[in-house]
Amino acid sequence: MKFDEVNETCNKLLDTIGNYFVGERLLLQKVLAAALANGHVLFEDNPGLGKTLLAKAFAKATGCDYKRIQFTPDLMPADIVGTKVWKSEKETLTLEKGPVFTHILLADEINRSPPKVQSALLECMAERQVTIEGETHKLESPFLVLATQNPIEMEGTYPLPEAQMDRFLIKLSTGYVRTLELEAEILKRRAGWRRDDPVDLIPSVTNNQSFQALQETIEKDVYVDEQIFTYISKIVRATRENSYVEVGSSPRGGLSLSKITKANAAINGRDYVVPDDVKLYAKDVLTHRIMLRMEYAFEKNITSAKIVEDILSKTEVPTQVTRR
Ligand SMILES: Nc1ncnc2c1ncn2[C@@H]1O[C@H](COP(=O)(O)OP(=O)(O)O)[C@@H](O)[C@H]1O
Ligand SMILES: [Mg+2]
């Protein structure tokens, strides 16, 4: 794929999703950037804010195969990865593949299942492979998890294990729409669908192959100056040196930030990363990787998000970034 086509295709994808999901284009852009960087996305927000709709609309617009798992308290790991079943007519054990064998997996209300079940997703997300009864199977490419969760304070939820959080490239919140007009727009759109779920109405802009071609072009063609790497590294290290923080960002946090900034540059038609790309994503990429010290965990004015903002305001921004 030519680099010029990337920007055009991205705009079409964003327009298409925006025809169904009412919200800020920047939010959609962030989801797309994460997916183009081959990263998993976690949406966290109260029920009814359009998380499931956004995940479905995104999957449908990309034209990739997708499957959905509704996480419940009694879900089993085999319901996610699959299992071997005895076929009496063939007298053999055959693999019944679980929903992870797809391109985009919608993991809905992921924190309603206990950690053991959430962990079944762990190997899939990090290794892009799955082991079922001793046999390892490669997952499809691309393989992206779009997960949703309710805020952890809500009843009947199990917080995701730390190791699992780190595997999401980005954590986003859909939030309420800003204005009265947009609130009414949600109602108008809904009336136009004449059904609850508009997924069948949404056209596909790309497909498995062309989406992967987008990812590969970005990986290959977007240039990152040495100073950008230094800038990201400074930010990531500062999360570990902060006195409120028990565990700071892993190197995976820094890698994630550098990957997503490349995708963001390409969405904006640039084949080089600028410091503003880093600033735009640092909070969404790093906040969920930071664990506060116990004594600050419940203090309202000390949050991981504020710590990242503070780090950004204090970290020297490179001024002489080259374009290649
Ligand atoms: N931002 C939005 N844009 C369009 N429709 C929305 C939006 N937020 C909520 N809705 C409507 O509310 C319904 C519930 O949204 P849903 O995606 O199921 O919420 P969640 O998964 O966050 O609980 C959707 O089917 C849609 O009709
Ligand atoms: Mg939902």
Per residue in 17-31, pLDDT tens?
999 999 999 999 999
Task: Give the residue, out of 21, 44, 53, with the most ligand 1 atoms within 8 A of its beta carbon, to mutate for a pocket test.
Answer: 53
pLDDT band at 15 (very low <50, low <70, confident <90, very high): very high
User: What pLDDT does residue 320 have?
Assistant: 87
Residue 196, H or E segment:
none
Strand partners, 144: 104
Which atom, in ligand 1's list, is nearest to the CA of 45?
22
The pLDDT of residue 109 is: 92
Write the pLDDT tens digit of every residue in 2-13.
Answer: 899 999 999 999
**Mean of pLDDT values over 290-313:** 93
Burial 78-116 (b: 16+ CB within 10 A, else e): bbbbbeeeeeeeeeeeeeeebbbbbbbbbbbbbbbbeee
Using CA positions, which residue lies closest to atom 9 of ligand 1?
A: 50
The full set of domain ranges for the chain reads 222-324
162 pLDDT higher than 80: no
Residues touching ligand 1 (Cβ under 6 Å) are 21-23, 47-53, 148, 177, 186, 189-190, 196
pLDDT at 207: 96
Strand ranges inside the chain, DSSP E: 40-44, 66-70, 82-87, 92-97, 104-108, 129-132, 135-138, 144-149, 168-172, 245-247, 291-292
Question: For domain 222-324, is the CATH number 1.10.8.80?
Answer: yes
Mean pLDDT (the chain, rounded): 93
Instruction: Tell how far the Cα of 198 is from the centroid of ligand 1, in angstroms.
Output: 11
| Residues by chain with Cβ below 5 Å of ion ligand 2 | 52
Nearest Cα residue to 276 out of 324, 318, 220, 217: 318
Cα four-point dihedral sign 60, 23, 106, 290: positive
| Angstrom distance (rounded) from CA 176 to CA 103 | 29
What pTM was computed for the model?
Answer: 0.94
* Chain segment 186-203, per-residue pLDDT in tens: 998 888 887 778 888 999
Residue 158: predicted pLDDT = 86
Q: What is the pLDDT of residues 104-116, one digit of tens each?
A: 999 999 999 988 8
C-alpha 96 to ligand 2 mean position (Å): 27
- Residue whose Cα lies nearest atom 15 of ligand 1: it is 50
> Has residue 304 got a pLDDT over 80?
yes
DSSP element (H, E) containing 102: none
Q: Identity (one letter) of the amino acid at 208?
A: N
* Chain segment 74-115, per-residue pLDDT in tens: 999 999 999 988 888 888 888 899 999 999 999 999 999 988
